[in-house]
A = this chain, B = another copy of it.
């Protein structure tokens, strides 16, 4: 007995469709059809091929398929900062939708840098069929250039010419401002996010508008970074501002701010009310638990993935902006103004 009979478990034994073809006594093209186009081959040969493939422990070579078909069955997901728990929901739901259609998700991290983001996007887009950009910081022009190559969907930012899914802050913000105004607050401070963040600008607009409508003063202050620590660093300024309520660009900042304020002896919400943005995981762990304007991030993720996947199937669509509604989640960190009767 020859020693080189194909052992089922050889560490490097890569079986190809040619091996199957030979073993089964058919043509390679038949094997291909049997495996990926069942129905275009007789039931009998089909079984034969399937069994032989099984025996040979055949795994289709993804690169070869991709080269031939032009599709890698992969979606890219590029987040602006992977340490932001925000993105969990997006990741999970986008992944779920992708998996349903036998797609995989390749992750990229921009680490809060527009330059890193761009290079990561360029690297990613070569290997995927479509790309989801979460809170992209790059220029509109670069965004559109990318979109000219492959299908691109942006989350948390609106850009003409490309598909977007963005939470509309208006509803949640107006709920929050009405709540605060109704509780006697006269002045609301908005702690802004990164200067380049489109979403931060959008949120400030919403706050500003809602305040005007409710006849309360709105003031915007800048931050150093949209993190817990960035929030902490705002405490002094905010205390000095004399505002009795603050809305932050995100929950991380709100949590840092709240801790720092409490550390300085200010009671929340008695002395100052705090409302965050995004309702991240852990927002309800704090004391008092954090009120927040929730963006349905999971929905954004599944919508974005769906948009891409559908674009492969159906007829080409005009780029569109999908708006999803935000919603105020009231918890313990917001309440009556201290000067209220």
Point out residues on A near B: beta carbons under 8 Å.
Answer: 9, 11, 59-64, 66-67, 72, 74, 77, 82-83, 85, 88, 91-92, 95-96, 99, 102, 104-109, 120, 123-127, 148-149, 255, 281-282, 285-287
- A148 to B9, Cβ gap below 8 A? yes
Whether A149 and B59, one on each chain, are in contact in the complex, defined by CB atoms closer than 8 angstroms, is yes
Contact B74 A67 (CB under 8 A): no
Contact partner of A106 (CB less than 8 A), chosen from B59, B107, B281, is: B107
Q: B91 near A107 (CB under 8 angstroms)?
A: yes
A74-B106, A281-B282, A285-B285 given; name 10 further pairs at CB < 8 Å. A59-B149, A61-B67, A72-B127, A83-B92, A95-B107, A96-B109, A99-B120, A255-B285, A282-B282, A285-B286
Q: Complex Cα distance A294/B83, Å?
A: 18
What are the residues of chain B within 8 A of A88 when measuring CB–CB? 82-83, 85, 88
Q: Cα distance A62–B255 when bound, in Å?
A: 43
Chosen A-B contacts, 17 in total, with CB atoms closer than 8 Å, are A63-B72, A66-B66, A72-B127, A83-B92, A85-B88, A85-B282, A91-B107, A95-B107, A95-B109, A96-B109, A99-B109, A104-B106, A104-B124, A106-B106, A107-B107, A255-B285, A282-B282
A82 close to B74 (CB less than 8 A) = no
B74/A95 in contact, CB under 8 A:
no
Q: Shortest Cβ distance from A121 into chain B, in angstroms?
A: 12
Assembly CA distance A67 to B282 (angstroms): 44
From the candidates B104, B108, B148, name the one contacting A123 in the complex (CB within 8 A).
B104
Q: Could you tell me the distance between the alpha carbons of A88 and B74 in the complex, rounded to whole angstroms? A: 21
Given that A83-B88, A282-B282 are contacting pairs, would A62 and B104 also be in contact in the complex, using a CB cutoff of 8 Å? Answer: no
Assembly CA distance A107 to B63 (angstroms): 18
C-alpha spacing A11/B316, complex, angstroms: 13
List, in ascending order, chain B residues with CB within 8 A of A255's CB: 285
